[in-house]
Chain A
Amino acid sequence: MDKELLAALAKIAGLEKALAEFPEDVAAAASSAGLHRGVMHAPEDPAAEPWPPMRPAAGA
């Protein structure tokens, strides 16, 4: 990720201190987030609903 973009995103997230002290860790975190997002197939059906996260064993 571009350094300026990374810095801007880190600032939005309130991670200025982490960026100053651990820039490689912030970059690794941003890279990891992008990788996962790129792999997942979002549902094609616009009406597909999320699993209510606190309803156990949904769909049983």
Chain B
Amino acid sequence: MQDLHWISASEASRAFAAKRLSPVDLVKALLERITRLDPQYNVFIKLDAEAAVAAAAVAEAEIAAGRIRGPLHGVPVGIKDIIDVAGLKTTCHSQVLIDNLAASDAVGVAKLRQAGAVIMGKLSTHEFAIGGPSFDLPFPPARNPWNRDHHPGGSSSGSGSGLGAGFFPLALGTDTGGSIRNPASACGIVGLKPTYGLVSRRGVFPLAFTLDHLGPMTRTVADNALLLDCIAGHDPGDPGSIAAPRGHYAAQLARGVRGLRIGFVRHFHEADLVADPAVAAALEAVAKTLAAEGAEIRTVTLPTLTEFAAVNRIILNSEAWSIHAPWLRSRPGEYGKLGRQRLMAGAFLQAADYVSAQRRRAQMIAEVNAALRDVDVLMCASSMDPASRIDDAETTSRTYPRQARTPFNVTGHPAIAMMAGLSAQGLPLSVQFAGRYLDEAGVLRVARAWERAAGTDRMHPTL
């Protein structure tokens, strides 16, 4: 059997069923690796080793007795620390909530437990899922598994770093302005922001109510579909939840892209925010490969990234200010510098700015929907640059906003980011695919075609 730390959830599930591997052995192997390596990568805020071994033992007994709950039974998963896990603190990586004990599981976590998954612990984020890598918070920032001198993206930084480092095969992240897809891009893993409302946000500390998404982060596209299968579904307790039937997200993975029309949004990285040449070359290589696989590549035009970002930030800042105003007024010193700056911005916006942004948002939704009537899936850049050095605050501050992820938070369409290759310095480059509302299966289908052709699921860093 391959190194256990690179095993996918799909492979682990098959190995458990065939009794070639036990959940306890897998969890113990991962805990050994985490204990040895995490002091260099800061993935975990709270490693819950004892509970993980206990849950793995229960899974092992159930599987041995033939009571297999499903494909995630006994599979380890990490949880971003803005998502509630009963009995553990949800600190949001902030002094403000340093003693915030969760009384119950978030809906997504409860679904994972029901499926028999093994919760490994709580993972690093940016403070309240906004800002960037910071050194003035109660916990250190996560590091990039491909080169620990570089940032891992964020805000689901521990989720991305831990997957890339081989600490667990599955993780939950959240995405309000790109926070699942940024670490997916920086760490060379697979991160999907589902359609707005497909996955319940109940039990997740909010950043911006109308932009927040919970989603799956994995090392392979097939695992991403499995994890989405588990966590998707209507929740009457989440006012944003869609009353729509769940898809079968792995159903189209093997179909390839022959006959699909893929709209390449070139102006995002060629004109709006000119990408690093390595990123541009990687995107062209993806387009060429998908064309060779039988897809038709068309050029598509959408509103500019600058305007998408402005609409995203006005809505995000306004909604976040309504959440954080009482704390920012009374104890601003408990925030880190970046979080404080970003979360106070909403104090200087007017109600009319927020409504105008929502009105412009409606037009942008119509424009993306119109584009998706002519093509099946959109393809574009995710990050315009490889990850910068984590100690270079100026470059990180300049390059973090150079991204094409916010459009799909604004519109709510499903979007996936994944590796498109490696830079000359050995850092992951990325590509993004977006689709029609509730067509996660179509997005995953294209992602799998690229993964299979390029072998990105077999590319791992050396730690």
Residues of A within 8 A of B (CB): 9-10, 13-15, 17-18, 21-22, 25-26, 28-30, 32-37, 39-43, 48-51, 53-54, 56-60
Q: A36 — which chain B residues lie within 8 A by C-beta?
A: 309-310, 313-314, 317, 345, 349
A11 to chain B, nearest CB (A): 11
**Contacts A15-B344, A29-B348, A56-B197 given; does A51 touch B307 at CB 8 Å:** no
A41 in complex: contacting residue of B307, B325, B333, B343, CB < 8 Å: B307
B residues near A30, Cβ cutoff 8 Å: 345, 347-348
For the complex, give the distance between the alpha carbons of A57 and B234 in Å. Answer: 13
The binding surface of chain B is classed by DSSP as helix
Q: How far is the CA of A9 from the CA of B58 in the complex (A)?
A: 57
30 residue pairs from A and B, CB less than 8 Å apart? A9-B347, A13-B348, A18-B328, A18-B332, A21-B332, A25-B340, A29-B343, A29-B345, A29-B347, A32-B341, A33-B317, A33-B347, A33-B349, A36-B317, A36-B349, A37-B349, A37-B353, A39-B309, A42-B356, A51-B359, A54-B209, A54-B239, A56-B241, A56-B412, A57-B242, A57-B412, A58-B412, A59-B369, A60-B436, A60-B438
Taking a contact as CB atoms under 8 Å apart, the answer to whether A40 and B362 are in contact is no
How many pairs, one residue from A and one from B, have CB atoms within 8 Å of each other in the complex? 139
The 6 closest A-B pairs by CB, nearest first: A56-B197, A50-B358, A29-B344, A13-B347, A53-B210, A33-B348
Q: How far is the CB of B322 from chain A (nearest CB, A)?
A: 12
Can you list, as one digit per residue, whether each of B316-344 has a CB less than 8 Å from chain A (1) or not (0)?
01000000010011101100010011111
Contact of A25 among B306, B341, B349 (CB under 8 A): B341
Residues of B within 8 A of A18 (CB): 328-329, 332, 340, 344
* Contact status of A56 and B307, CB under 8 A, knowing A48-B363, A50-B359, A51-B362: no
| Distance between Cα atoms of A30 and B98 in the complex (Å) | 28
Q: Is B195 touching A57 in the complex (CB atoms < 8 A)?
A: yes
Complex interface residues of chain B between 438 and 460 (CB less than 8 A to chain A): 438
